[in-house]
Chain A
Amino acid sequence: SYELTQPPSLSVSPGLTASITCSGDKLGEKYVCWYQQKPGQSPVLVIYQDTKRPSGIPERFSGSTSGNTATLTISETQAIDEADYYCQAWDSSTVWVFGGGTKLTVL
């Protein structure tokens, strides 16, 4: 079965840039989404189709892909960005697959 790998945790200082990676075989050939989940809340879509931001998501959030790795970049990180982040991949031959999640700490 297809697997996506994320670092379990990442720490960043306020105002700096956080880069969360997601790796998988031939990931660049699939569509990637990213979700933010805060404790006790449902996930929120922050990036879809690799690079697109849904309405209402700050421009500080951006996505990119290269080869087998997708990256969610959060610029000028704020305390409110502290959350778990999940990548998700899809292509026409597979189904949805989620990464294991990355806990982002802002300190």
Chain B
Amino acid sequence: QVRLQESGPGLVQPSATLSLTCTVSGYSINTGYYWGWIRQPPGKGLEWIGNTFHTGLTYHNPSLQSRVTMSIDTSKNQFSLTLNSVTAADTAMYYCARALLASDGVDTWGQGTLVTVSS
């Protein structure tokens, strides 16, 4: 059974960089699928951040594109997210996710990790 697990700091200083990693177990990232990040501010709706493919091809939400970097490490079966120049508005539950095809939606979600931006 495929499992996704987010990891990273729960508290980030304003203007700093948020870095998260998603570790995949039960499935090899090399095989395919889209691997992505979705966030949800407390009490609010879902926001797509971006997807990366096992080839390294990435797609980002245009509203975040200038601050987002995504990467994939097939040797560790992990993929990562960095978000620069964070503000309080970036406080959210961050989920890593898997989709077979972009049209298929997310079939597997991580449990989520809460990141708070505060001094």
| Interfacial residues, chain A to chain B (CB-CB below 8 A) | 1, 31, 33, 35, 37, 42-45, 48-49, 54, 86, 88, 90, 92, 95-101
- B63 pairs with A42, CB closer than 8 A: no
Chain B residue at minimum C-beta to C-beta distance from A97: B48
Provide 9 A-B residue pairs closer than 8 Å at the C-beta atoms, listed in order of the A residue.
A42-B110, A43-B46, A48-B105, A88-B46, A90-B105, A95-B50, A95-B51, A95-B60, A98-B46
- B103 pairs with A49, CB closer than 8 A: yes
| Interface pairs A-B: 4 shortest CB-CB | A33-B105, A42-B109, A96-B48, A31-B103
Give Cα A88 to B105, complex, Å.
8
- A35 pairs with B105, CB closer than 8 A: yes
- A90 pairs with B102, CB closer than 8 A: yes
Min Cβ gap A43→B in Å is 6
**Residues in A whose Cβ lies below 8 Å from that of B104:** 33, 48-49
- A101 pairs with B46, CB closer than 8 A: yes
Min Cβ gap A8→B in Å is 10
- B45 pairs with A86, CB closer than 8 A: yes
| Interfacial residues, chain B to chain A (CB-CB below 8 A) | 36, 38, 45-48, 50-51, 59-63, 95, 102-107, 109-112
**Residues in A whose Cβ lies below 8 Å from that of B103:** 31, 48-49, 90
**Residues in B whose Cβ lies below 8 Å from that of A45:** 105-107
Give 10 A-B pairs besides A31-B102, A48-B105, A92-B102 with Cβ atoms closer than 8 angstroms: A31-B103, A33-B104, A42-B111, A48-B107, A54-B107, A95-B60, A95-B62, A96-B61, A98-B46, A101-B45
Min Cβ gap A27→B in Å is 14
Give Cα A95 to B60, complex, Å.
8
**Residues in B whose Cβ lies below 8 Å from that of A33:** 104-106
**Residues in A whose Cβ lies below 8 Å from that of B110:** 42
Min Cβ gap B47→A in Å is 7
Min Cβ gap A16→B in Å is 26
Give Cα A37 to B51, complex, Å.
21
Give Cα A44 to B107, complex, Å.
7
- The listed residue (A1, A42, A99) touching B45 by CB distance below 8 A is A99
